[in-house]
C-alpha cells in the first residue's frame, strides 16, 4: 500500500466522451470529483480508464482546471465558494468569466461528477445574474427563447404587465 503522500501522485485514468485517449489525472486532482473518489476508494486504481461518457472532453478540461486549482490550495473547504452567501472569490470570478458561455454544461458535468464547489459556483453565478432583472432581460442574458404562445402572452402581459416595461 503506497504511503499517503504518494497516493496524491497516483495517476488515475479517466476517459470522457469524444476523447481519443484517456486522460491521466493525478489523484490529488481527481479526488475533487467525488464520484471518482468513491470509486477509487471502493475498488482501487485500476489500469482501465474510468469512462465518463456523459461529459465531453472540452467540458471535462474545464472541470479539470477547476480541480487543479483547488488541489493546490491547502484548506479546501474554506476557500472554495461553497458557503451560503453569494460571495465569489477572485479566482473563481475570473474562471467564470472565461467559461461563461458553457455554464450550463459545466453545471451538469459538475452535478454528475459531484464536484460540489463547482456546482455551487455555477449556481451562484446564475443567481447573481438573475437578481434585479426583468424577465425579458433574463431571457436575453441566458438565451432562453420566449416560448409563450403569442396570444396567451398578450393576455398575460395585460394582466400582469405592471412590472414589464416592454
Partner 1 sequence: MSTVAPGARKKQKIRPIKKRAPDASAPDTWTSLSNAIQEIHNHNASNLSFEQNYRFAYQMVVQKQGDQLYNGVNSLVATNIDKLVDAEVKPTFPTTVLGDASQKSPESERFLKAVRSSWDDHIGGMTKLRDLLKYMDRVYVPAAGKLLIWDSGMKLFLEHMLKQPILGHIISAILNQIEAEREGYAINRSAVKSCVDVLLQLQEAYDGPNVYQSSVEPEIIRSSRGYYTREGDALLDSCDAPEYLKKVEDRFASEDDRAHHYLSRQTATPLSQILEETLLTPHLTRVIAMPNSGLDNMLDMDQTDNLSRLYRLFSKVPEGISTLKRAMKDSILRRGTSLVQPTDMDDEGNGEGQPDAAPDVKGKGKGKARAAPNGPSVASKWVEGVLALKDKFDDVWKKSFSSDREIGTACNEAFENIINKNPRAPEFISLFIDENLKKGLKGKSDQEVDIVLDKTICIFRFISDKDVFERHYKTHLAKRLLQSRSVSDDAERSMLSKLKVECGFHFTQKLEGMFIDMKTSSDTMDAYRRHLSKLESDPEFDLIVTIMTSNNWPNTLTQSPPPCRLPESLSKACTNFEHFYLARHNGRRLTWQLGLGNADIRVNFKSRKHDLNVSTFALAILLLFENLGSDDFLTYEELLSTTGMEEPELKRQLQSLACAKFKVLKKHPPGREIDAGDSFSFNNDFTSPMQRIKIGTVASSRVENPDEQKETQDRIDEERRHQIEACIVRIMKDRKHMLHNDLINEVARQLGGRFQPQPMSIKKRIEHLIERDYLERCEDRKSYNYLA
Tell me whether residue 45 or residue 108 sits nearer to partner 1 (CB atom).
108
Regarding 43 and contact with partner 1 (CB under 8 A), the answer is: yes
Tell me whether residue 72 or residue 97 sits nearer to partner 1 (CB atom).
97
Q: In the block, which residue shows the cell 436575453? A: 140
Q: Are 86 and 126 in contact (CB under 8 A)?
A: no
Q: Which three three-digit cell numbers place residue 162?
A: 405592471
Regarding 142 and contact with partner 1 (CB under 8 A), the answer is: yes
79 vs 74: CA distance, rounded Å: 9
Regarding 51 and contact with partner 1 (CB under 8 A), the answer is: yes
Regarding 50 and contact with partner 1 (CB under 8 A), the answer is: yes
Regarding 52 and contact with partner 1 (CB under 8 A), the answer is: yes
Tell me how far, at minimum, the Cβ of 10 lies from partner 1, in Å: 18
Around Cβ 5, how many Cβ atoms within 10 Å? 7
159 vs 39: CA distance, rounded Å: 54
Tell me whether residue 67 or residue 119 sits nearer to partner 1 (CB atom).
119
Q: Are 109 and 54 in contact (CB under 8 A)?
A: yes
Regarding 113 and contact with partner 1 (CB under 8 A), the answer is: no
Regarding 143 and contact with partner 1 (CB under 8 A), the answer is: yes
Q: Which three three-digit cell numbers place residue 63?
A: 472541470
In angstroms, the Cα distances linking 36 to 31, 63, 92, 112, 162 are: 6, 13, 23, 11, 50
Regarding 35 and contact with partner 1 (CB under 8 A), the answer is: yes
Q: Which three three-digit cell numbers place residue 129?
A: 445574474
Regarding 88 and contact with partner 1 (CB under 8 A), the answer is: no
Tell me how far, at minimum, the Cβ of 162 lies from partner 1, in Å: 29
Tell me whether residue 133 or residue 154 sits nearer to partner 1 (CB atom).
133
Around Cβ 78, how many Cβ atoms within 10 Å? 9
Give me the residues that bind partner 1 (CB under 8 A), please.
35, 38-39, 42-43, 50-54, 97, 100-105, 108, 112, 141-145
Amino acid at each position: 500500500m503506497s504511503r499517503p503522500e504518494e497516493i496524491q501522485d497516483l495517476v488515475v485514468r479517466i476517459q470522457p466522451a469524444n476523447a481519443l485517449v484517456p486522460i491521466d489525472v493525478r489523484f490529488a486532482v481527481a479526488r475533487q470529483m467525488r464520484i471518482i473518489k468513491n470509486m477509487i476508494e471502493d475498488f482501487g486504481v485500476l489500469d482501465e480508464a474510468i469512462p465518463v461518457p456523459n461529459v465531453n472532453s472540452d467540458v471535462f478540461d474545464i472541470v479539470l482546471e477547476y480541480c487543479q486549482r483547488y488541489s493546490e490550495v491547502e484548506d479546501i473547504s474554506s476557500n472554495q465558494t461553497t458557503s451560503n452567501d453569494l460571495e465569489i472569490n477572485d479566482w473563481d470570478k475570473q474562471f467564470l468569466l472565461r467559461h461563461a458561455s458553457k455554464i450550463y454544461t459545466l453545471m451538469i458535468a459538475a452535478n454528475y461528477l459531484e464536484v460540489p464547489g463547482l456546482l455551487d459556483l455555477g449556481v451562484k453565478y446564475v443567481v447573481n445574474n438573475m437578481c434585479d432583472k426583468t424577465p425579458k432581460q433574463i431571457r436575453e442574458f441566458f438565451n432562453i427563447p420566449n416560448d409563450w404562445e403569442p396570444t396567451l402572452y398578450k393576455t398575460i402581459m395585460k394582466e400582469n404587465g405592471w412590472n414589464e416595461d416592454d
